[in-house]
Structure 1
Amino acid sequence: MTTKKLLSVFLLLLSFNLYFSQEVVIKDDKVLLDGKQILKAEKINVAQYSFYTMKDDEEILMYRYMDNETPRYQEDDYYVLNFLTEKTKVESTDFTKILNFMNSRKGMEKLVKWLLKERVINSDGELNPDRVQIFKEKYDENITERTFR
């Protein structure tokens, strides 16, 4: 009897997780959240994406992959999230939140999901300035400032 109860609770929790999960898709330069467009996306090249608001087409976020001028050595690679309207940069070497092998579009979908989860971007595609600062405090490694050139 306890196995049935445990299974029921597990299925209930799983259904809540599936119900509250948000689907983010980038298709035709549109960022769709559960089928509704919240942002515009532009792939500059494999290492750079820009995201724009729906209201006034203003660039609010730029993602850039940096190889730290050592293309064959990947241990020092990092990425920069530049929240342009907030004048805030986040540099990090932790690719676990966004990396998707050889598919930059899927990686950017993971990035938008992460920003939604952290409430940096709301469901209307608008930046939350307070959450941008909290995000910076949590994840910024300040790589440029501590790198010798």
Structure 2
Amino acid sequence: MTLKKLIPFFLFLLGFNLYFSQEVVIKEDKVLLDGKQILKAEKINVAQYSFFTMKDDEEILLYRYMDNESPKYGDDDYYVLNFLTEKTKVESRDFTKILNFMNSRKGMEKLIKWLLKERVINSDGELNSERVAIFKEKYDENITERTLR
């Protein structure tokens, strides 16, 4: 294929991806998916967020940033996703999926997009038990168990 044929093809793919991507916004403690509220959010502090169902206001997810008791050394930092109703914790050092410099709200929007993409949360804001287990298998690094205290 020539370069002239590849450019329109890549532009088409980019446009297709942008057209079908879902917009997630956290505004006034509401998690909106394409303008529809699917969850409630509560910022506890800079390092913690909680997410609640719309149906019965039950806390389903707690996000915590952990500095591993070494605030000046960032290489050992990690985060914990605690799926409370599933009694499942995921600990990871891979911040590429959620990190947004100095803006925890934007980071949490990226987290919800990631969970939607992995089908852990559906478009109604409900957890999928089977997908939570798969998510744990894929991303959990079990940091607490590996850390010496």
TM class by shorter-chain length? Answer: over 0.9
* Structure 1 residues 105-124: aligned runs within 5 Å: 105-124=105-124
Q: SS state of the match for residue 144, structure 1?
A: helix
Aligned twin of 1:143: 143
- 1:96-149 Cα distance to aligned partner (Å, 9 max, x none): 100111100000000000000100001110000000000000000001111111
1:60 Cα offset (Å): 0.2
1:5 Cα offset (Å): 4.0
The two structures, once aligned, show a CA RMSD in angstroms of 1.4
Aligned twin of 1:60: 60
Q: SS state of the match for residue 144, structure 2?
A: coil
TM-score normalised by the chain length of structure 2 = 0.95
Q: SS state of the match for residue 106, structure 2?
A: helix
* Structure 1 residues 18-33: aligned runs within 5 Å: 18-33=18-33
Identify unmatched segments of 5+ residues in structure 2.
none
1:46 aligns with 2:46: yes
Aligned twin of 2:131: 131
Number of aligned residues: 149
Fraction of identical pairs, as percent: 87
Aligned twin of 2:36: 36
- The change in CA–CA distance for 1:4 and 1:134 in structure 2 (over 3 A counts) is same
Displacement over 6 Å in runs of 4+: none
CA distance in 2, matches of 1:79, 1:94: 8
Aligned twin of 1:13: 13
Identify unmatched segments of 5+ residues in structure 1.
none
1:6 Cα offset (Å): 3.3
- What one-letter code is carried by the residue in structure 2 that aligns with 1:80? V
CA distance in 1, matches of 2:3, 2:144: 54
- 1:66-104 Cα distance to aligned partner (Å, 9 max, x none): 011111111111000000000000000111100111100
CA distance in 2, matches of 1:77, 1:14: 34
Aligned twin of 1:89: 89
